[in-house]
Structure 1
């Protein structure tokens, strides 16, 4: 049998498959990539054992656990564990702290299925702490530069062209603005943080010590940036990406109208998908109604409704350009002008996309 593992670094660098023996309620709060939830106990069983532990101690709780998971129930669970272990011979199993539950899964796998399978020492909690430390250490030890710029300049496109970038919006599955919600949902907060930390770990392992990030607020949709990273971003140097209003309008039209409607239609079919897309777009505008003011909101909502009608009935998206350009010039741009003025002392370079990418590539090579 391979030894039980406490080398969390290698587990994540190797994308080791893992079996999570925690109850579903624990797993659903957050886990790691390449993990399958194959619990020792259901949520109800775990609750009963936990209550027993508090009232009568560990021995009574273990006895109750064996009573709850026996016979056919035990056979079915061991079978699922055995199938995972056989399909993933280089994997591991874990529970919350690497204690009783994962040890019991190990014992039953060996006694009932003849399979010896290693567990992660310290379990979920130790691996989670390792990943939190990974991000914190990177903030303290590495060099970061931010890509700023007006809405629609293509900051995400710059990030995608650089090998040393960290795509915060990609990990959050959100485009970062009031209109940034995608057709598919966002990850849980813990999953977002874990994926980001693993990205950092792999890039540092490859020798990268300078990272490029998009300049973001603390929250991307419903995902919050790790606090040390966000605090660092208030001081990191910036490059400022520029593009024309026309270019930015075209980019937003592609991302927030053409591509987003396609996402919804791909998931839900033509009729229901377009309906859901239209509702999402209108809701995004409603979300900033107070900041827009009543008159401007009504004006933009009317244009958007007409644009959606033409898109649905004629396949023509050109009318969307009107509300997009108005929103840029009248709403987003004044906010970004203010931000740029506040961050002027940190801006190292200003240019359009090709020049920004070239500058950042040279910067990373120094």
Structure 2
């Protein structure tokens, strides 16, 4: 079998979803890694800390010697077997450590001694991460158009229909509002940036020469948009979806009430799922209680409780409209109108969902896609 070489083709790694074996310590992996990476560390967190302390106090040779003493005998054999098994599962993959240095070279050496020749990523995590940060910078420099509209306008739905659309909330695993959290935990900031960069790289490779993005604030849940991208969004032309109130209300009821109940019950079972679903809705209201004012917050909470009781006993979610309607009319819609007034000079089109979709499809064709 022909030996595969170490690689510095970072672009191919991300475009082709090449499997990666990350041999850094678990704490490093948790702080940030890549979508196709699996963590099989050379050293655990305590071992890495001990070697790091030794390096600072006694230099590289002493640190390497300590590393060999800590990861030896049955422990070395156990970890080597895990790497061998993963190499067999992912024969086209690569190993990496932080800089593509000592740790990944040592793992390579131990694998070779066990009869497995497996390449590593030159430059390691640092080089891969730098490549993705540069990708974000270059992608943020491309032209973009922003999709705005009141809550329930179907902005995210539309973004996902378009070739040039990047669903920032989807990448962030959060829908951006006080009711925005999903059942999946948000990425760390580094992982969010890495996933976003890979998404944009693939779209660009497929021919995208501009972006269609939702009108977002800088922070989506706990993730911050890259500054270059956010700054570009603040200057970009804006299209606005103006759908009838009833259409928006129906979308919100379907997405935040019916679909979320099903999602919670699917994840946790009927009893616990229902409880977590009710907590999710209460938490959404509670998060904006100061802006609502105490009296309105208490009234909406009372209506929410009534709606939950009716939904639980009768299986019908229509009673939720009693608190959803005033929440839109007195909170979300006025807030969005205020924000939109500051952006009117950037507005290039306004219409219902179908009209905005048609406009953006034509916009894409005119942009050479």
TM-score where L is the length of structure 1: 0.98
Residue 277 of structure 2 aligns to a residue whose secondary structure is helix
In the aligned structure 1, how far is the partner of 2:325 from the partner of 2:135? 41
Where does residue 137 of structure 1 map in the other structure? 138
Where does residue 291 of structure 1 map in the other structure? 291
Where does residue 157 of structure 1 map in the other structure? 157
For the pair 1:116 / 2:121, whether they are aligned, the reply is no
Offset of residue 310 of structure 1: 1.0
RMSD over aligned CA atoms reads: 0.8
TM-score where L is the length of structure 2: 0.97
Offset of residue 191 of structure 1: 1.2
Q: 2:13 aligns with which of 4, 11, 14?
A: 11
Where does residue 315 of structure 1 map in the other structure? 315
Residue 28 of structure 1 aligns to a residue whose secondary structure is helix
Q: 1:53 aligns with which of 47, 50, 55?
A: 55
Q: What are the within-5 Å matches in structure 2 for residues 1-366 of structure 1?
A: 1-111=3-113, 113-140=114-141, 142-366=142-366
Offset of residue 232 of structure 1: 1.1
Q: Deviations over 1:50-80 (max 9, x none)?
A: 1100110000000000000011101111111
The answer to whether the 8 A contact 2:163-2:208 is kept is no
The answer to whether the 8 A contact 2:47-2:70 is kept is yes
Q: Deviations over 1:322-357 (max 9, x none)?
A: 111111110011111111111101111101111111
Residue 32 of structure 1 aligns to a residue whose secondary structure is coil
Offset of residue 165 of structure 1: 0.6
Offset of residue 46 of structure 1: 0.4
The answer to whether the 8 A contact 1:250-1:321 is kept is no
Question: Number of paired residues?
Answer: 364
Name structure 2 gaps, 5 residues minimum. none
In the aligned structure 2, how far is the partner of 1:133 from the partner of 1:220? 22
Large movers: runs of 4+ above 4 Å: none
In the aligned structure 1, how far is the partner of 2:248 from the partner of 2:204? 33
In the aligned structure 2, how far is the partner of 1:106 from the partner of 1:168? 38
Offset of residue 184 of structure 1: 2.1
Offset of residue 123 of structure 1: 0.6
